[in-house]
Structure 1
Amino acid sequence: MIIEYLSDFNCPYSYIGLNRIKNICNELNLDVKWEMKSFELEPGLSNIPVSSVERYAIRNELSIKDSEKEIEELEKIAQNEGLNMNYKDIQLTSSKDAHRIVKYLERYYPEVTQEFILKTFESNFIKNENIADHNTLIKITSSCGLNKSEIEEFLNKETYSIEVDLDMDEAISNGISTTPYYFINYDGERLMIPGVFEKEAFKIAFEELISGEIKKKTFL
């Protein structure tokens, strides 16, 4: 099975959805090849932190009070699934360099790519670290067994910036405007799942795809 997924390290739904799908794949004992497609929700952000509550309110056209309520609900959902998410205190910064590292790892170190992705989500949403800070990214890659100087040299360049942008351009050209979005490829079939669904709904879709009972190519 090949799972391609559009995701962003600043998207709480991306973190929750990936966690659910990974748990399902483990439960079903599936052999999966993963590929993350970049989609920056906030491409204009820098390495200077901004308020996640305010940005969430602006992006979803909410008041600050309603934004706080929705974020609190998101945190509860994540916590019920074992993710001790603290979204309200996140240091919301650019995810561009983290996406560039994913491209680099997929090319040269595919065996640790998913580990890096999950640790970067954890760094952002649980530890509330600045994932635009090169020191943070180097610390994460080092914990995955990569050479510190190699990643430091990579980050000081702009390698894979174009590829990150092209992922987003391709998604937008196909009518995709947000994350997450999943493409599940199995035995010649391709199941498209837009957004995050309950774990049981995800699991049923996977089981029907594997059994050949799936009737549609899009899970809506």
Structure 2
Amino acid sequence: MSNSQKTNENKQELRIDIISDNICPWCYIGKRRLEKALSQINTSMINISIIWHPFELDPHLPRNGSLVKLDRYKQKFGEEFVKLRLPAMIETGKQEGIHFSFGGKIGSTFDSHRLLYYVKQQENGEKKQNDLINVLFRYYFEQEQDLSDHQVLINAAEQIGLNSNEIKEFLQSDQYKKEVKEEINQNQRDGISGVPNFRINDRIELSGAQEPKEFIQAFRKVGLNI
């Protein structure tokens, strides 16, 4: 047995399942805080798997066409939310290196979840999924792009090295619609009503954009020697 095989056998396992929506600002913040937590521990002896799962915060958003984002916020949450909460969110984002901008349009996130599901099936799917979620969050929250727009999704896929023609063909098909819908429904049946939701090694569940210390505490609770 080679030294590299022995090293791999001795590694600890850390699996993080994240239920998220691509238009959820706290999901973006939660991702950054998780990354901070991972940067604060020695990960050289840990096999880390991060897998993203779909959730629709606003399932009634149009799949064809989109709405003015601020108008939808006002309709759903009220004028007071837009006036007070959004500036606070912008300040929270700055602390995590996120430059929130709440202009632009909003539509269904279903196809963006399908695209995330699609890339997960590819070679190095977990890494590609994580790379894609970074692009989607940046597009939506910092560049005011509409994630219901197929061209925006094609551009995002190109950013992580995928073929634009293949992605266009995929988005125009029905592939993975059933699987993504079932996963969304299952998350709801499991009692998930808000995101982000983090499941650590199928043992510890954290709800919301926790601070890094909470993630580190959860890692220790599942038995990681960190």
Compute the TM-score of the two structures, normalised by the length of structure 1.
0.86
Question: Which consecutive segments of 4 or more residues in structure 1 shift more than 6 A?
Answer: none
Q: Does 1:64 align with 2:79?
A: yes
Distance 1:92 1:159, change over 3 A: same
Aligned to 1:158, the other structure's residue is in SS state: coil
Q: Does 1:167 align with 2:183?
A: yes
Deviation track 1:115-174 (CA, whole Å, cap 9, x = no partner) reads 011110110000111111111111111111111111111011011111111112111111
Distance in 1 of aligned mates of 2:159 and 2:165: 14
Q: Gapped runs of 5+ residues in structure 2?
A: 1-13
Instruction: Name the structure 1 match of 2:10.
Output: none
The correspondence for 1:50, drawn from 39, 42, 67, is 67
Deviation track 1:12-54 (CA, whole Å, cap 9, x = no partner) reads 1111101111221233243311111100111221243324334
Q: Does 1:75 align with 2:109?
A: no
Q: Does 1:94 align with 2:108?
A: yes
Distance in 1 of aligned mates of 2:222 and 2:118: 31
Worse-matched range after superposition: 26-35 or 198-207: 198-207
The 8 Å contact of residues 53 and 68 in structure 1, kept in 2 or not, is answered as no
Aligned to 1:183, the other structure's residue is in SS state: strand
Based on CA coordinates, which of the two structures has the bigger radius of gyration? 2
Q: Does 1:197 align with 2:217?
A: no
Compute the TM-score of the two structures, normalised by the length of structure 2.
0.84
Distance 1:147 1:211, change over 3 A: closer
The correspondence for 2:136, drawn from 96, 120, 126, is 120
Distance in 2 of aligned mates of 1:58 and 1:112: 35
Worse-matched range after superposition: 65-74 or 158-167: 65-74
The 8 Å contact of residues 53 and 71 in structure 1, kept in 2 or not, is answered as no
Distance in 1 of aligned mates of 2:191 and 2:170: 32
Aligned to 2:19, the other structure's residue is in SS state: strand
The 8 Å contact of residues 17 and 52 in structure 2, kept in 1 or not, is answered as yes
Q: Gapped runs of 5+ residues in structure 1?
A: 214-220
